[in-house]
Amino acid sequence: MIPDHEQVPAGLQSVSCDLVAHAAVHLPLSAVADLRRQPGPPGIVSLPPTLLKHADEQTVVGLSAILHAIAAHGLQDVSFTDWGVLAAPRLLARSTMIVSLQRFLAEGAWGVSPHVIPHRSLHSPSGTVSHALKIHGPNFGVGGGAEGAVELLLAAVAMLERRQLPGLWLMWTGQEPEGEMDLAGQGDPNTICRGLAVALTPGRPQATGLRLHVEVNPLPVQASIPENPWLSDYFYLETLLSRLGPAREPHRKVGQDLTGGVRVELEWAHRSHGSTNGTAVRAAAVERAHSTPGAEIQR
Amino acid sequence: MSHHGGVWITGVGTATPLGHTYAAFADELLAGRSGVDRVTGFDVTDHPSQIGGQVHQVPCPLGDDPDAFSALPRLEQLTRWCCVSALRDAGWWEGRGERRVGLVLGLGAEWLMKWEADTLRGGRTILDPQDGVESLVSRTRHYLGLTGPAVSVSAACASGNYALAQAKQWLELGWVDLCVAGACDMAVRPMSLAGFGNLRALSRRNAEPKAASRPFDKGRDGFVVGEGGAVFVLERAATARRRGAKVYAEVAGFGASSDAFNMVIPSPHPEPAIAAVRQALADAQLNPAEVDYINAHATGTPVGDIAETRVLSTVLGDAVSQVPISSTKSMTGHLLTAAAAVEALACVVAMERSALPPTINLHDPDPECNLCHVANEARPARVKVAVSDSFGFGGSNTCLVLKAV
């Protein structure tokens, strides 16, 4: 028997968060090795010396983006202890797995590195970042394929809406082009490794700064098979930030429809007595963290 | 209860080394039978650990073409079986297209598994990712004809708890009318057996497979890899009540934290894990003394079981000597990404059957794991509140609280 339809709670399908920091890193894959020792601007964090030794290139670039975001938005003194971190790497560890599988075929079980599972799995980038930033809130990986870009946003804003976390770091990473590789795990020498880091805090209507709105269509959205998910823009949020531009015109808004009935919008929200420079963003982050139970700010 | 009147489990679907239906799983679990055996799917002669909890054949869901089903990757077979079984069990199979149904799956090694299976068959998918690009969660959404959002999450062995927590949040936000949520893993594969084996995390008790998984026992020497999954249908209490649904439990509380210590080894500082369990109890508005049963993460590694004992002893305080605890991994093996979901199902079994599943192979309890063990045999008990701890690589700590309705 099909039960009568029950209305979903009205007005709850849209979630708003404050975007308090962001940075993008685009690097040739060959340059990632140097990042392992110094992934971000000096003085941001002190990393355990071996933390990135076995990490995937995407993990390194994603962490680098976070550290640049911290530096660019003046969050060096903010403690992220109670924050969470979510990461959406795209086809993580493909190159490593090519090599690992060839070794397995040649040498059998003893040829398989014990580092693949802990350091090159979907949970690894967020786990590594939690270690680097001393984050004791939740950490997990999202997606793994081309659709992970939207999945990450959904998972994150749902968590923030509960208002139990002072903030969340989000990290999108991938290689472009995601092209053919040989049996040694080598691909196009011009491959770029990309990382986008965004810090979100629960939305506060009176705050000045970048605001992110995510809407989920409350009506059923028919499933359609994507022709080629690789053609969609994995780094759509970076594109939107770029479209919004540095002008910070009050209430200027840009948006994009994503898959699955999800729409994302970015807005420069303006409070008349608030300043519009980076100081306001930093102060807002600190103020928000202060007002959230359990947050620790060392300032 | 949450602000929204609660989120209830109204359907379950599963396949594990203990059986392919809820009833079979419950029967075997309470009989204290081990599902661990010598691995038969591939040659294990040069693997340090040669045993596992295997799902030999995943049943084909009613209405699917058996030939097409058998051609699917094993993880996809498992996911389909569990999701369809859960929707049918909940009474939503026929009406699923008329509601906004979400999908949240714990899937930790989807791409690694796909590349491995293809390469070992002589394929080249890993070399050219333009082939077969749609993710499993997206394919499953299309296969099931669901019309809500779909997400896959991975926190290693804690993934299932995150999946259930996300689903609960989506229901509370009103994003979906109901949500299919759980986790699946098919980890008894050459690369994972080799990888975990070379990490020295696995039991090498190859001559005695059924005695190999022995959480909390002094003779434990590592975990045993298992495979399987559990998927649940979650809906708001008002929806379930209105349609007179059979209800398994309320998803009452969730807590999560990170050690920020090491990618593999549990932190010697138990505070983050303690915080996760306390958060979950607070979320459910319960005191430790109100807990009737704890399904421990306890994998059977020397370090992990002791670390968890410290956490539970601290959280439970004086109640530690009275709250029954068991690790069902002693029977299923460690289902990795699917572990938390299957252990949530074990909690449901405890509530529904009024019996506590045991830790088998617990003949010589480690004095450093001094807990109120349900050793070797199931025990009758009324369970109104059950707690499931799940921890994972990457320093993840999670805790789920289920309440009888």
Contact A13 B173 (CB under 8 A): yes
The DSSP code sequence of B123-164 is --GGG-TTSS-S-HHHHHHHHHT--S-EEEEEBTBTHHHHHH
Of B156, B239, B258, the CB nearest to A130: B258
Q: Residue B150: closest CA among chain A residues belongs to which residue? A: A151
Chain A residues closer than 8 Å to B128 by CB: 179-180
CA A282 to chain centre: 19
pLDDT of residue B384: 98
Q: Is the dihedral of CA B267, B309, B53, B292 positive or negative?
A: negative
- The answer to whether A140 touches B155, Cβ cutoff 8 Å, is yes
Per-residue pLDDT reduced to its tens digit, A83-136: 999 999 999 999 999 999 999 999 999 999 999 999 999 999 999 999 999 999
- The answer to whether A146 touches A88, Cβ cutoff 8 Å, is no
A287, HSE (Cβ side, Cα atoms, 13 Å): 14
With a CB-CB cutoff of 8 Å, which residues 151-170 of chain A face chain B? Answer: 151, 154-155, 158-159, 161-162
pLDDT of residue B194: 97
pLDDT of residue B5: 84
pLDDT of residue B4: 59
CA B240 to chain centre: 24
CA proximity to B373, closest of B305, B317, B315: B305
Per-residue pLDDT reduced to its tens digit, A182-230: 999 999 989 999 999 999 999 988 888 999 999 988 776 666 656 666 6
B390, HSE (Cβ side, Cα atoms, 13 Å): 33
Per-residue pLDDT reduced to its tens digit, A7-33: 555 444 789 999 999 999 999 999 999
- What's the whole-number average pLDDT of chain B? 96
Which two structure tokens, joined as six digits, stand for A95?
Answer: 């190159």
> Using CA atoms, how far apart are residues B299 and B258, in angstroms rounded to an integer?
18
Say yes or no: do domains B8-242 and B253-403 share a fold. yes
The list of chain B residues with pLDDT below 70 reads 1-4, 131-132
Which two structure tokens, joined as six digits, stand for B186?
Answer: 């098919």
Number of CB pairs < 8 Å for A and B? 280
Per-residue pLDDT reduced to its tens digit, A147-186: 899 999 999 999 998 888 999 999 999 999 888 999 999 9
Picking from A14, A45, A46, A112 by the largest number of B CB atoms within 10 A of its own CB, the best residue to mutate is A112
Q: What is the ipTM of this complex?
A: 0.96
What separation, in Å, do the N-terminal and C-terminal C-alpha atoms of chain A show? 60
Q: Write the DSSP symbol of residue B357.
A: P
CA proximity to A88, closest of A194, A192, A12: A194
Name the CATH superfamily for B253-403.
Answer: Thiolase/Chalcone synthase (3.40.47.10)
Picking from A7, A92, A101, A123 by the largest number of B CB atoms within 10 A of its own CB, the best residue to mutate is A123
pLDDT of residue A261: 82
Q: Residue B140: closest CA among chain A residues belongs to which residue? A: A223
- CA angle, corner A216, sides to B285 and A197, nearest 5? 85
Catalytic positions of B, please? 157, 297, 334
User: What residues contact A34, with CB distance under 8 A and at least 6 apart?
Assistant: none
CATH topology of domain A20-208+271-291: Peroxisomal Thiolase; Chain A, domain 1 (3.40.47)
Percent of chain A past pLDDT 70, that is, above it, reads: 82
Per-residue pLDDT reduced to its tens digit, A240-294: 999 988 767 787 899 998 887 889 999 998 765 544 334 444 554 545 433 333 2
Torsion of CA A154, A156, A159, A162, to 10 degrees: -90
- The answer to whether A79 touches A297, Cβ cutoff 8 Å, is yes
B167, HSE (Cβ side, Cα atoms, 13 Å): 36
Of B95, B133, B275, the CB nearest to A145: B133
Domain boundaries, chain A: 20-208+271-291
- The answer to whether A246 touches A138, Cβ cutoff 8 Å, is no
| A175 CA: distance to closest CA in chain B (Å) | 12
- Is the model's pTM score more than 0.90? yes
Q: B367 burial class (0-12, 13-18, 19+ CB within 10 angstroms)? A: exposed
State how beta strands B396-403 and B36-38 pair. unpaired
pLDDT of residue B131: 67
Per-residue pLDDT reduced to its tens digit, B211-260: 999 999 999 999 999 999 999 999 999 999 999 999 999 999 999 999 99
CATH class of B8-242: alpha beta
pLDDT of residue B151: 97
Domain boundaries, chain B: 8-242, 253-403
pLDDT of residue B378: 98
pLDDT of residue A22: 97
B394 at A interface, C-beta within 8 A: yes
Q: A80 burial class (0-12, 13-18, 19+ CB within 10 angstroms)? A: buried
Q: Residue B195: closest CA among chain A residues belongs to which residue? A: A114
pLDDT of residue A245: 83
The DSSP code sequence of A216-261 is E-SS-------S-GGGS-TTHHHHHHHHH-TT--TT-EEEEE-GGG
> Using CA atoms, how far apart are residues B103 and A7, in angstroms rounded to an integer?
19
Which two structure tokens, joined as six digits, stand for B229?
Answer: 């999954």
